[in-house]
Every structure is written in C-alpha cells, then in structure tokens.
Amino acid sequence: MARQNSQKMPQSPAPKSTPERPQDPTAQPAASANATRSPSPAPTNEQIARRAFEIYQARGGTHGSSEQDWFQAERELKLGRQ
C-alpha cells in the first residue's frame, strides 16, 4: 500500500489570460507624450492678411484674387506651424 504524503504540494497560481510584458522605463504612453506637446495656436487674421498681401505683391499686384490669396496664406501659415 502506498503511503500518503501528509504534505501538500504547493499549487502554482492559475495562468493569466495575457502574459505580462516587461516595460521599457524610457517608453512613454502615447497619451502622455501628446499631452506634453502644446498645440500651436492658429495664425491670427493679421498674420494671414500680411502673408496674403505678400502673395498679392508677388503676383504683380493684379486685382481679383484676394480670396485665393487669403486661403493660400492661411494654408501656408497653418502648415508652417505644424
């Protein structure tokens, strides 16, 4: 007859559903990385007007394209700030 051991074997904890990954101490979560960078302000109307006037002068001062000049100036300033 086999002798029963009165000591129980320690049971290992149940496996976790997702394995733990070692964390890189230098890595930052995406949310905190974006939070540290402040959003750049939109260009002011004065800045857009100055740039639109420069575009107007570069075109030779011909009339009739003021809206195009404004939109181009606004687009350039927004892209330049990103």
Q: What is the pLDDT of residues 13-31, one digit of tens each?
A: 665 565 565 565 555 555 5
68 in a structural domain: yes
56 in a structural domain: yes
54 in a structural domain: yes
Enter the pTM of the model.
0.50
26 in a structural domain: no
27 in a structural domain: no
Instruction: Count up the domains in the chain and report the number.
Output: 1
25 in a structural domain: no
At CA 12, angle to CA 16 and CA 21, rounded to 5?
Answer: 35
Residue with the larger pLDDT of the pair 41 and 71: 71
Q: For residue 75, what are the domain limits?
A: 45-79
Reported as half-sphere exposure (CB side, CA atoms, 13 A), residue 64 has a value of 2
